[in-house]
Structures are given as structure tokens and as C-alpha cells.
Amino acid sequence: MKFFKTFLASILGTIIGSLLLLLLLFAVLISSSSEPEPYVKSNTVLTFSLSGDIPARVVKDPIEELINADSGPKVSLQSLKRNLQKAAVHEEIEGVWIRTSQVNASWANLESAYGYLEEFKESGKFLYVSTDDIGMNEKAYFLASLADSVFTPPETGFELNGFVAQISFYKDMLDKIGIEPEIFRVGKYKSAVEPFLQEQSSPESEEQINAILNSASARFVEAIEKRTGKTAAEVNQMISSPPVDRLQFALDNGLIDAFAYDNEIESMIKRRMGLDEDGEFETIGFGRYGKVSGTTAGLEETTGEDKIAVIYASGPIMQDLGQSPFNGQNLITASKVENQFESAIEDDNVKAIVFHVNSGGGLATTSDIIWNTVRSASEKKPVIASMGSVAASGGYYIAAGADTIVAGENTITGSIGIFNLLFNSEELYDEKIGIDFQTFKTHEYADLLNLTRPFTPDEERIIQQNVENGYESFLSRMAESRGMTRDEIHEVAQGRVWTGGAALDAGLVDVIGGIDRAIEIAAEKAEIDEWSIDSYPKEKDIFETLFNSGNARMNAWVMSWLPEPFQTQDAQNLMMLMEQPKGMNWALLPLRFDVN
């Protein structure tokens, strides 16, 4: 009887699960079916929130939109540019009102967003920016500084105290648990291994970090100069002053225009539009306005068949080893990149390719395969590399296969170097938890990568030689790509990190600009005057989205069961490194590098 009860319960559970899956699928199909284009009335203001990250592109996930309908659309550089272009020419749109708070986008992406807002202002329409009870940080204010008026509530935060970068170090932790890092590297600037060996940064690492910080700070100061008319010295003095009552300080020094709540801002918008206090203006949100066609808004849309493919590659560069709770799906793999380039090459209407890279690197072997894919494609069609927030080490490697490299002024790039990271766990096993090992082997070096004992001097020489060979291959590829000698590349390599502006002077990039400049260059090389953009990777169909969303949620659930310290990005990056095959050479930036 118990067996039949269990059997029937299993059948019932399967039936209910299947019904729920069908209902979810039906709901997604309904929600993703064609909707009529939104109608925009006269006296409309485009309003949206801008906080958190601003990625280059967001691939829509209808499952996520259905489950988290209240979260609103994610603003990307791609969607921001498109909506602002439409709003600038759309007769029914009177202006834009952005609500912002804590923005944590990279400085390279902030530069692009700043440029799009600047272009919108040329339309003569108003741009208002306000904040909420959280308040603005420097990155949010960098964008807000372009506004006709900046408003804050009378009681909120306002961050104006300079910029900081933080590197995490693991040496003490590894010492306590009995793990000895075995590091093999080339390049005096290859600081990616320092967190495992040291308790603070080397002078060489400090040099490059300070250069990146100072570049971001200089750009921020320049934006405040432009808004307030103050000199750089005066702005720096403001930032260095004690951060007491910063909100009043910001008002007194012309950084913000007034303290105002949303209802008061609405009254100011009415006056700006020439409406009576009792009058009303319409609003349209970012996602809804994104469904308004360019033709309806008044943009001149391309009618020709010529296309420029834009291939987005974002994340660590890794072997395709299947799913893991620690890597998610935001990886750059050789097969993904090869398939996307193959599709673009085979499409006769695609006349040129822009390869947008946002990666701090990864496996040197995978980077080399992708470099060859890019180089081979460039022999068939023009390929322009567009560097995003970061395109360093392996990220620089894969970009260098292109005809031309375009980088933002504050893109983090360079870091041409190789290292190998291994962990000797003898003390952990022998003294901490009491596990002994006996090794049997057929040949001298069969246990070369045995991590239960220290390396012998001979083994150390072998691994170091392999790392140096990898570095020489890296230099050779870069010399070939950049038209420089091996020694010229070595002089600016050795693991050194550069900003985009400094990389231009060093000969590592060709042009300073964003993805739009890269697209312009691609069109020039393809000799086309009109084109449409064909973006890769393509949006997934409903079935791929359904099951990939389920996998992502399962991974998130698994991670939520880990102890809290292991849920941090640093810890996940470390675990991702440790789960890769032993003995691999890495072309990788330091694990954590944020400028805030």
C-alpha cells in the first residue's frame, strides 16, 4: 500500500509540475507576443531610473521580465543611445527626466553614456536629473552634471570625496588553512598573482593603480569644471574638504540647483513646458518608449541591406567545461566566439564586423584560439575591436587580432603577461585534516602537477620555462598584430596595465573612442554610407530562454547555500580559478579592480 501511495504521489507531482511548466510557457508566449506600438501623446516627458551598472548591451530575458515585472527594464548603453536619439527628434517628447542614485558602471561606459546625454542636449530639449532618499555618488553625479537642472530632496546623501580602488589579498587566509600558492610568472607588472603572495601591492602595481585612479579623477574634475566654471584646483580643493553636510555644500557650490521633492519637480517641469499649475503632462517609461519605432519618432532609418555586425564578448575567457555554480553563463569561450564570427562572415549583407570586448582575460590557450578566429575573420572582412570597460591581458590578446583597436580614454587595457597559479596543499592534508597520499607513476614527470607536495627545483624550472614560452608566444602574436618588433612590445608589456589614453601613446591601441566610433571606422573600411546593426549573440528563442533561466536560478540557489564569505565576487572568482584544469597559463588582470 505504501508503495502505491508513493507511486501515485510521484505521478501526481509529475503531472502538476508539467502543468506548471506549460502555464509558465503559455504566459511567456502571451507576454512576448506582438504588442501594438505605444502611442505617444503631445506634452510627454521621457522618464527613467538610472542606477547600478550600465552594461554595453542587455539581452532580453522574457522569463525574468515575467517573474520580476516590477523591476523595470535594464538600461544599457545600446538602449540609452537609441531612446535618447528618438527623444531628441520626437515632436511629442518635450524633455527627459532621469532619476538616479548609486551608479556603479565602469568609467569607460560612463564616458559613453555621458556622450549620449551630451548629444541629446543639442536638441534643445530639457534634461532634468533628480535623486531619491539614497542620494548620488560621484559616478551618478558625473552624468547628472550635464543636466539643465539637478535636484535632490533636502535630506539625502551626496558623495563627493574622491575615488578609491581596493585589491583583496589572500596570503594570510591561505597560511591559516595550510595552502601554499606556487606562482610562476613573467613581467614585473603582472600583479594578478600578488594577492596570493603578499599582504600589499608592489611598487609597480601601485604605480599602475594610481595612474588609473588619477585618470578617472581627472575626467570627473573636468566635468565639474564644465558645470560650475571653477578651475581644476578649485574643484580638487572642494573634493578634498571634510565631507560634512555635503548636500548643503553641493547647493552652495553650484553642483545642484535646488532641494526639491518629486511633486515640486513636476511643477517646475510644467513651468518649463509653459503649462498652468493645473495642467498635466504625460510621461512614458524607458521600456515602453523602447517599443516606439525610430520611424514614428522621426529618425531617418536605414533602408538598405548592408549591415555591420557587432559581436559582444563579455566576461572571463575560459574553456567551455559545461555549467558550474561558480561561472554562470557570462563567459567568453572559443566556440561561442567562433560561431558568432562564422555567422557574420557567412552573411553576405554583413560588410564589416565590430568586436566589442569587455574582459580582464582568462586562459592564455583559449585567448590564443580566439585571437586566431578574429585574425582569420579580418582577412575576409574588416574587423574593428571596440574595447569596453576593460580589455586587458587575455582581453587585449583577443582584441589584437582586429584591423583596428578602438578604446575609451579610461578603458583598462594592456596587461600583456602570463602566469601560472597552482596550490600546494601538503600542509592542509597532512597537518590540518590528516590525509596521507602514496603516489605510483610510470615515468619521471607523470606527477608533475601533483599538488599534495612541494615542487622540486627541476619541476619548478620546467613550469617556469612553459610560462616563459607562453609569454614569448603572447609577444609574438602582439608584435604580428601591431606591426611592432618583439622588443618594442616587451617594453610596454611585462604585465603592465594601461588606461586607453596611455595605451594610445604606447602604440597598443589606434583610436580613442567608444563603440560608435568603432562602427564608423568599420563603415569607412567597408566603404558603405548606410547600414543597420546586426548584434551578436542573438536573443534566445523562448525554449532556450526558459531552460537557461532555470539553470541560472538553480546556480543562484546553490550559491545561496554557501557560507556568506563565499558568496562574494572575490571568493567566486577564486573558486572559479581553482576549479579549472591544473597547470594552465593565465593571461588575467588582478581578481578585483573597481574604481569608485
Q: How confident is the model at residue 10 (pLDDT cuts 50, 70, 90)?
A: low
Tell me, what's the pLDDT at 492? 94
Please tell me whether residues 397 and 481 are part of one structural domain.
yes
User: Do residues 277 and 363 share a domain?
Assistant: no
Assign residue 306 a region: left if phi > 0, alpha if psi is -120 to 50, beta otherwise? beta
Please check whether residue 335 lies inside any domain of the structure: yes
Question: Could you give the count of Cα atoms lying within 13 Å of 296 in the half-sphere of its Cβ?
Answer: 14
Say yes or no: 501 and 407 in one domain: yes
pLDDT, average across residues 198-214: 87
Asked which of 297, 331, 363 is the last residue of a domain, the reply is 297
pLDDT tens digits along 106-115: 898 999 999 9
Q: Is 430 exposed, middle or buried (0-12, 13-18, 19+ CB in 10 A)?
A: middle
Using CB atoms within 10 Å of the CB of residue 544, give its burial: 0 to 12 exposed, 13 to 18 middle, 19+ buried. Answer: exposed
Which of these three, 297, 328, 343, is where a domain ends?
Answer: 297
313 shares a domain with 292 = no
Residue 516, domain CATH: 3.90.226.10
The pLDDT-based confidence of 249 (bands split at 50, 70, 90) is very high
Predicted pLDDT at 327: 45
Q: What are phi and psi of 357, to 5 degrees?
A: -110, 125
Give yes or no: residues 277 and 312 share one domain: no
In a domain, 374, yes or no: yes
Give the pLDDT mean for 148-171.
Answer: 92
Are the beta carbons of 216 and 239 closer than 8 angstroms?
no
Please state, rounded to an integer, the average pLDDT across all residues of the chain.
Answer: 85
Does 377 lie in the same domain as 356? yes
CA–CA gap between residue 357 and residue 389 (Å, rounded)? 8
Per-residue pLDDT at 584: 60
Catalytic residues: 393
Indicate whether 233 belongs to any domain. Answer: no
- 409-428 as b/e: b if 16+ CB within 10 A: bbbbbbbbbbbbbbbbbbeb
Tell me which of 29 and 39 has the higher pLDDT: 39
Q: What is the pLDDT of residue 304?
A: 80
* Residue 427 shares a structural domain with residue 372: yes
Task: Let me know whether 141 and 256 are in one domain.
Answer: yes
Instruction: List the single range of 50-59, 176-185, 321-330, 551-560 with lowest mean pLDDT.
Output: 551-560
Read off the pLDDT band of 516 (50, 70, 90). very high
N- to C-terminal Cα distance for the chain?
Answer: 65
Q: Are residues 558 and 438 in the same domain?
A: yes
Kindly state whether residue 67 falls inside one of the protein's structural domains.
yes
The predicted-structure confidence for 138-151, as pLDDT tens digits, reads as follows 999 999 999 999 99
DSSP 51-101: EE---S-----HHHHHHTGGG-PPP-HHHHHHHHHHHHH-TTEEEEEEEEE
| pLDDT, position 595 | 63
Measured CA distances, 547 to 3, 64, 551 (Å): 32, 12, 6
Residues 15-43: what's their mean pLDDT?
65
pLDDT for 561: 46
Whether residues 515 and 461 fall in one domain: yes
502 belongs to a structural domain? yes
* Single residue among 268, 297, 326 that ends a domain in this structure: 297
| Residue 370 belongs to some domain of the structure | yes
Mean pLDDT of 277-297: 92
For residue 266, the enclosing domain spans: 44-161+243-297
Note whether 372 and 500 are same-domain residues: yes
pTM of the full predicted structure?
0.82
Tell me if 220 is assigned to some domain: no
In the predicted structure, residue 307 carries a pLDDT above the cut 90 = yes
Q: Does 87 lie in the same domain as 60? A: yes
Q: What percent of the chain has pLDDT over 70?
A: 81
Q: Is residue 89 part of a domain?
A: yes
State the pLDDT at residue 498.
92
The count of structural domains within the chain is 2
